[in-house]
């Protein structure tokens, strides 16, 4: 497998140098064409279970029109009856949801519409938008992963910046199942690629600090398919829940706060209330500690239509919720509530309460319980998360929780203790006890609560909330000079 992934990365870099496209690459585990060998003709089209090419053309047109709607500004609550489909929520380990259907490039013989025009993209920050020219001399290509439709690669641009590239996975389930059913490789690529185009449009329309940044895109011709699409985005690290559970509460709270801000933005977006039908940790990445949504091809804007509340059942594996049906014939807040309950069951319940400061736990428990019961909406949830941030950042959570230390400490400026570490949990460093504190009184209180602690070293480093990082030590037999630290040791006697 490692050899195959290495071969994919080498072929990926070479493809740009030779003027070919990322999209002709095969994901790890498949065999690329031999040199000089074309991928071969598409299989002869069969009638298919759903009407052959005519059905494929209908699906492509539906996705084309969806992308056009989002490009123009998005639907209101009544812009077309949404496709009824089984959410991934209901099928853990099962067949999963039937994904939305994608796109195409130049006019096809069967009269399917051409590519929607590329979205009007603003600047990603300093510098112009990236296009095909930026991909001609990339280096350090690495396969990151793939899903139902897309493959993701990490590359380094000529200027040194690392970015992510997304393209339709030619060995993926989406394209493969379509080709087996319809036998039309180009049309099936366009169907799959409309997901990528939809995601590109939504990344632009939903711009927010907790939405992955779109840097640009590139249309190029591959060997047998014209106008294959590659998107260029901000690079993030995958969300690994096991690793997150071992991090500090402050960092875990930051992820939950990021998610709360994102859900508030999605509920009040310029397109309307946006729901993420495929809501799992793998749809998010971490960028400098902030959680960002990266996968938007299964996002939906339309609220669910209803005749009465029996049409408004929000189903999850552990429980169901019945929401009211509005006088206008739409399930009230279903998009928002689906996002919120998924945030509870995938993030809040694991990351919020554990190892939190004791005085904050009642408020954190209220947030977890209210989102688990859907008694709050995203507005109230975000209000309470911001309240936790204020209490923590301002030090108000320490009132009535810290006591005046009965132990006296000797201050040794411009010094540190290089050894004599002990482990505590959760710590910013796995080999020592490194915690953040609001002030010196909290550092002393922590040291008093640890049986091993005989000293602590205050650094000049701070966390995202502005709190100082402090090493707690089991002894102080060796104190050495360090202009960036101050040591406090328990006074003898």
List the 284-287 sheet strands across, edge first: 237-238, 284-287, 290-293
Would you tell me how many other CB atoms lie within 10 Å of the CB of residue 266?
A: 26
Would you tell me how many other CB atoms lie within 10 Å of the CB of residue 334?
A: 22
Catalytic residue among 227, 278, 295, 298: 278
> How far is C-alpha 452 from the geometric centre of its chain's CA atoms?
39
The secondary structure element, H or E, covering residue 221 is none
Who contacts 429 (Cβ-Cβ below 8 Å, separation ≥6)? none
Q: Is 278 a catalytic residue?
A: yes
> How far is C-alpha 226 from the geometric centre of its chain's CA atoms?
30
CB-facing half-sphere around the CA of 89: CA atoms within 13 A: 20
Q: How far apart are CA 213 and CA 349, in angstroms?
A: 28
Contact yes or no for 138/22 (Cβ under 8 A): no
* 3-state DSSP assignment of residue 443: helix
Who contacts 476 (Cβ-Cβ below 8 Å, separation ≥6)? 417, 420, 454, 455, 487, 489
Q: How far apart are CA 275 and CA 190, in angstroms?
A: 24
Residue 371 bridge partners (DSSP):
none
Length of the chain in residues, anyone?
Answer: 493
Q: Which residues are annotated as catalytic?
A: 278
């Amino acid at each position: 497998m490692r050899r195959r992934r290495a071969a994919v990365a080498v072929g990926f870099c070479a493809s740009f140098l030779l003027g070919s496209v990322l999209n002709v690459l095969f994901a790890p585990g498949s065999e690329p064409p031999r040199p000089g060998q074309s991928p071969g003709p598409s299989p002869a089209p069969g009638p298919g279970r759903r009407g052959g090419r005519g059905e494929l053309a209908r699906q492509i047109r539906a996705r084309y029109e969806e992308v056009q709607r989002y490009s123009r500004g998005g639907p209101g609550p009544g812009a077309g009856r949404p496709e009824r489909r089984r959410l991934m929520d209901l099928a853990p380990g099962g067949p999963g949801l039937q994904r939305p259907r994608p796109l195409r490039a130049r006019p096809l013989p069967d009269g399917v519409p051409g590519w929607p025009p590329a979205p009007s993209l603003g600047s990603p920050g300093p510098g112009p938008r990236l296009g095909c020219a930026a991909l001609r001399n990339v280096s350090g290509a690495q396969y990151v992963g793939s899903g139902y439709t897309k493959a993701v690669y990490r590359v380094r641009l000529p200027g040194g910046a690392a970015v992510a590239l997304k393209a339709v996975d030619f060995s993926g389930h989406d394209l493969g199942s379509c080709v087996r059913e319809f036998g039309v490789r180009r049309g099936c690529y366009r169907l799959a690629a409309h997901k990528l185009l939809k995601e590109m449009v939504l990344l632009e329309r939903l711009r927010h600090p907790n939405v992955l940044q779109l840097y640009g895109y590139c249309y190029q011709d591959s060997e047998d398919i014209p106008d294959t699409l590659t998107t260029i985005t901000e690079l993030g690290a995958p969300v690994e829940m096991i690793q997150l559970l071992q991090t500090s509460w402050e960092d875990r709270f930051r992820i939950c706060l990021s998610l709360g801000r994102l859900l508030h933005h999605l509920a009040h977006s310029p397109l309307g209330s946006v729901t993420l039908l495929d809501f799992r940790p793998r749809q998010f990445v971490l960028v400098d500690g902030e959680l960002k949504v990266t996968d938007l091809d299964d996002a939906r804007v339309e609220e669910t239509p209803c005749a009465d509340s029996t049409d408004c059942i929000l189903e999850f594996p552990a429980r169901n919720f019945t929401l009211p049906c509005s006088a206008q014939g739409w399930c009230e807040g279903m998009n928002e509530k689906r996002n919120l309950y998924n945030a509870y069951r995938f993030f809040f319940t694991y990351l919020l309460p554990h190892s939190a400061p004791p005085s904050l736990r009642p408020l954190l428990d209220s947030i977890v319980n209210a989102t688990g019961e859907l008694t709050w909406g995203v507005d109230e949830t975000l209000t309470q998360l911001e309240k936790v941030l204020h209490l923590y950042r301002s030090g108000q959570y320490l009132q009535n929780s810290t006591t005046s230390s009965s132990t006296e400490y000797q201050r040794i400026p411009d010094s540190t203790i290089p050894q004599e570490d002990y482990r505590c949990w959760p710590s910013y460093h796995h080999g020592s006890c490194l915690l953040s504190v609001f002030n010196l009184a909290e550092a002393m209180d922590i040291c008093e609560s640890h049986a091993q602690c005989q000293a602590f070293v205050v650094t000049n480093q701070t966390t995202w909330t502005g709190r100082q990082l402090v090493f707690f030590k089991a002894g102080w037999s060796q104190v050495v000079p360090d202009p960036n630290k101050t040591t406090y040791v328990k006074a003898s006697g």
